[in-house]
């Protein structure tokens, strides 16, 4: 009998679906923060995320189905045994994170964050000109499910959308132009909005440099809902303070949680949310991940192909 450790925040109504996918398994439900090293080492299958340090390359662990799209801690050599299959939750967060990023863009372009600050200070203040997304060129870096959902929202309001991805392929619906990552510098001067949805890999670390911000319009907005280490904190602060870009909205930071004394908090033209665009705040995220987990559990036990198997070299699903 295989032991299935479930760290998803499931409700009672979800359990029959999971248990039907593994009728001969023993299920242990511990919730988001209930895993222990002992339980992890005893698990044949884990549905959810656990601290990477608890896994210790356990040879018993056959399948780790994450509830995150990001895989950064788990693809580090030595974390997982060579026989462990890693699958992620790509496809569960497109609506939640895409809409969050879209809201950040509109908030910054209409200066709503500054009006909220003025409201809190009881000040009746006019902050002047705003811009319309329909007149903008939006560069979307990372054209996976989330980036593509965001791109289509922007396109629906009339923006010109340029998608940036690692591999060549057909231009998807909702995107006007497609270019490869190594062509990013050629499109930065055209960007009114630069939106990043990149995972955390060696290739994406500190990708947004001072030189790249300097190449952008000084009226441009930068959005980061991918990984915080794609831009160094001091580089982002300098871009905001020097006027290289007009504003930024970030759901991720280089250091999380963001320390209370970080100068990022003090930037008037920066809107920060504390890595909440995904999580389980939108109810259908949990439903999608439970369905995916049940499907992959059933497939794994039957020796059939799994969805969202992660490539350890890239950190993306294959």
Both tokens of 107, joined, read: 């908030």
Angstrom CA distances, 33 to 9, 30, 48, 56, stand at 9, 7, 10, 18
Cβ atoms 292, 317 nearer than 8 A: no
Cβ atoms 229, 201 nearer than 8 A: no
Cα of first residue to Cα of last residue in the chain, in angstroms, is 30
Cβ atoms 109, 164 nearer than 8 A: no
Cβ atoms 27, 2 nearer than 8 A: no
| Active-site residue flag, 275 | yes
Cβ atoms 74, 86 nearer than 8 A: yes
| Active-site residue flag, 227 | yes
Q: Which of 14, 100, 114, 227 is catalytic?
A: 227
DSSP calls for 238-266? HHHHHTSSSEEEES--SSSSPPTT-GGGG
The span from the CA of 84 to the CA of 62, in Å, is 5
Which residues is 194 bridged to in the sheet? 139, 222
| Active-site residue flag, 256 | yes
Q: Which of 211, 234, 256, 287 is catalytic?
A: 256
Three-state secondary structure call for residue 205: coil
Which residues is 270 bridged to in the sheet? 248
Cβ atoms 75, 92 nearer than 8 A: no
Three-state secondary structure call for residue 289: helix
The span from the CA of 223 to the CA of 102, in Å, is 9
Q: Which of 60, 166, 190, 275 is catalytic?
A: 275
Of the CA atoms within 13 Å of residue 72, those in its CB half-sphere come to 14
Active site residues: 227, 256, 275
């Amino acid at each position: 009998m295989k032991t299935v450790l479930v760290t998803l925040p499931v409700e009672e109504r979800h359990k029959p679906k999971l248990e039907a996918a593994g009728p001969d398994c023993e299920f242990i439900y511990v919730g988001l923060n209930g895993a222990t090293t002992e339980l992890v080492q005893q698990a044949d299958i884990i549905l959810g995320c656990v601290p990477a340090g608890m896994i210790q390359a356990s040879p018993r662990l056959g399948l780790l189905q994450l509830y995150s799209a990001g895989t950064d801690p788990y693809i580090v050599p030595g974390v997982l045994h060579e026989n462990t299959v890693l699958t992620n939750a790509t496809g569960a967060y497109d609506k939640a994170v895409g809409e969050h990023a879209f809201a950040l863009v509109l908030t910054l372009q209409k200066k709503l964050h500054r009006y909220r600050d003025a409201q809190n200070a009881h000040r009746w203040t006019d902050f002047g000109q705003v811009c319309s997304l329909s007149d903008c060129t939006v560069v979307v870096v990372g054209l996976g499910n989330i980036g593509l959902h965001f791109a289509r929202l922007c396109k629906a309001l009339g923006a010109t959308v340029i998608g940036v991805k690692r591999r060549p392929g057909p231009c998807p619906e909702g995107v006007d132009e497609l270019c490869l990552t190594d062509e990013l510098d050629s499109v930065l001067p055209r960007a009114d909005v630069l939106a990043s949805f990149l995972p955390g890999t060696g290739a994406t670390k500190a990708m947004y440099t001072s030189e790249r911000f300097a190449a952008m319009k000084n009226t441009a907005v930068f959005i980061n809902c991918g990984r915080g280490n794609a831009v160094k904190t001091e580089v982002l602060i300098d871009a905001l303070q020097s006027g290289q870009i007009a504003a930024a909205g970030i759901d991720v930071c280089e250091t999380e949680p963001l320390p209370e004394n970080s100068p990022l908090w003090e930037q008037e033209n920066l809107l920060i949310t504390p890595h909440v665009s995904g999580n389980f705040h939108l109810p259908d995220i949990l439903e999608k991940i439970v369905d995916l987990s049940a499907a992959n559990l059933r497939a794994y036990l039957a020796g059939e192909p799994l969805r969202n198997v992660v490539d350890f070299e890239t950190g993306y699903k294959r």
